[in-house]
Amino acid sequence: MARKTNGDLYNLKPSSIMVYGAVWCPDCKRAKQFFGEQCVQYNNVDIDEDPKGIAFVETINDGKRIIPTIIFPDGEILVEPSNAQLAQKLGLKTSAQRSYYDTIVIGGGPAGLTSALYLAREGLDVLVIERAGLGGQAGITQTLDNFPGFDEGNLRWRICRASWTPGAQVRRGNFTGAGSPCD
């Protein structure tokens, strides 16, 4: 999480993403979890502990106290956004480029990404669908030990970099097992 600077508080054009919310608010937790999974830095303002924060949120929302109210550095404000809206705002790729792939891999953890890497190396067109952050469980740990092929360090970025093989595409989404994942 980024360091909060006074200049960013109550600012309609902060230098980093500002999340105005409260600890009891499930939509605030969901939005912050989404940012965390995508490794996106944000500043959290708990309006329950900040009367000026409450007033700021009410000013933005025509007198209503709606949270999360999220302000982006470009000045855009999203109020109670869905994960799909957040994904769009962050520019995540959520739709497939093609209507046909040789192989679709569900899950962008180490198993899914390495499968996609080797399938693409064999010349197959591969689509990876990941509902959260790339890297799976390995992506949420600071340091990996005893992982085959990696002596140390953050696996997420190394394996993601390796999987940018021509022929492999990674898209964010939740595969439910029904219908076309390319819809």
Which window, 24-32, 40-48, 94-102, 136-144, contacts ligand FAD (CB under 6 A)?
Answer: 136-144
> What token pair was written down for 9?
């508080």
Positions 149 through 168 that interact with ligand FAD (CB under 6 A): none
Which window, 23-31, 65-73, 119-127, 139-147, contacts ligand FAD (CB under 6 A)?
Answer: 139-147
Residue placing its CB nearer to ligand FAD in the complex, 54 or 87: 87
Q: Where are the beta strands (DSSP E) in the chain?
A: 17-21, 42-46, 69-71, 77-79, 103-106, 126-130, 168-172
Q: How far is the CB of 115 from ligand FAD (least distance, A)?
A: 9
| 170 interacts with ligand FAD by CB under 6 A | no
Residue placing its CB nearer to ligand FAD in the complex, 36 or 107: 107
> What token pair was written down for 49?
């502990």
Exposure of 63 by Cβ count < 10 A (0-12 exposed, 13-18 middle, 19+ buried)?
exposed
| 8 A C-beta contact, residue 155 and residue 139 | yes
Number of Cβ within 10 Å of residue 1's Cβ equals 14
Residue showing the smallest CB distance to ligand FAD in the complex: 109
Positions 55 through 114 that interact with ligand FAD (CB under 6 A): 106-112
Residue placing its CB nearer to ligand FAD in the complex, 88 or 141: 141
Tell me which residue has tokens 């309609």: 12
Residue placing its CB nearer to ligand FAD in the complex, 4 or 158: 158
| 132 interacts with ligand FAD by CB under 6 A | yes
| 36 interacts with ligand FAD by CB under 6 A | no
Compute the distance between CA of residue 14 and CA of residue 70 in angstroms, rounded to an integer.
Answer: 11
Contacts (Cβ under 8 Å, ≥6 apart) of 163: 113, 114, 116, 117, 120, 128, 170
Residue placing its CB nearer to ligand FAD in the complex, 5 or 165: 165
Q: Which residues bind ligand FAD (CB under 6 A)?
A: 106-112, 129-132, 136-138, 140-141, 144-147, 174-175
